[in-house]
A and B are shown apart, each in its own frame.
Chain A
Amino acid sequence: AQRVTQPEKLLSVFKGAPVELKCNYSYSGSPELFWYVQYSRQRLQLLLRHISRESIKGFTADLNKGETSFHLKKPFAQEEDSAMYYCALRGQTQGGSEKLVFGKGMKLTVNP
């Protein structure tokens, strides 16, 4: 099975607070995971991917194979971080091609 679970639909924090957006996955192969972000009424855009081990806009995410998780973290949230966040897994279609499997998304609201 290939599945991405984002257990929380909504998260509301105050500016400067730490945030953690949870993502768990199910995949029988070697996982490759991504976080995408969608600001209000805009297109989705890649935020970061685990293979790059990068920090983008202060966000980091570590792949934990033991817990099958890829949580997105930021120590100090900013108002401009308010957006929908999608966790995605590189999986396979029935036809054998690869595809991105998305979680259902989580809305982060950062209040002033």
Chain B
Amino acid sequence: NAGVTQTPKFQVLKTGQSMTLQCAQDMNHEYMSWYRQDPGMGLRLIHYSVGAGITDQGEVPNGYNVSRSTTEDFPLRLLSAAPSQTSVYFCASSYSSGGGGGYTFGSGTRLTVV
């Protein structure tokens, strides 16, 4: 039981490049979400999914796309990276969207856009 696995752990991109951050969970959680963590800003919700085939926007969705083709995977795509997207990205999953049982977080992806 690996929990929530995020890859890569670190990434440096040039402005304008695209990439996909991977997130996979093996707990059969219906709810998955992506947050970004910035100093002094806490965690902000980017996108979330309440089940396979269903996604929706969070607080800061611009510049990011997601899809949920399976229960296990929830990749986050940066379409055209910008320096403002330099951040630490966390994927989280839970049995329910409200996190009554607590969210399980991945170990994070530290992204730098130059």
Contacts and interface: CB of A to CB of B under 8 A. Distances in A.
Interface in B74-114: 90, 92, 96-100, 102-103, 105-108
B56 A95 contact: yes
A45 B56 contact: no
A17 interface: no
B102 to A, nearest CB: 4
Interface in B17-76: 33, 35, 40-45, 48, 50, 56-58
A86 B43 contact: yes
Interface residues of A, number: 24
Given A42-B107, A43-B105, A43-B108, A104 B99 contact: no
Contacts, number: 64
Contacts of A93: 45, 48, 56, 58, 97
Contact of B42 (A51, A86, A99): A86
Choose among A9, A36, A44, A49 the residue with the greatest number of B CB atoms under 10 Å from its CB. Answer: A44
**Size class of the contact patch on chain B:** 20 to 34
Nearest to A51: B100
Contacts of A32: 98, 100
A104 B40 CA distance: 6
Nearest to A49: B102
Contacts of A99: 33, 45, 48, 58, 97-99
A12 B33 CA distance: 32
B98 to A, nearest CB: 3
B42 A105 contact: yes
B40 A9 contact: yes
Contacts of A100: 98-99, 103
B105 A45 contact: yes
Nearest to A87: B42
Interface of B: 4, 33, 35, 40-45, 48, 50, 56-58, 90, 92, 96-100, 102-103, 105-108
Interface of A: 9, 32, 34, 36, 42-46, 49, 51, 86, 88, 90, 93, 95, 97-100, 102-105
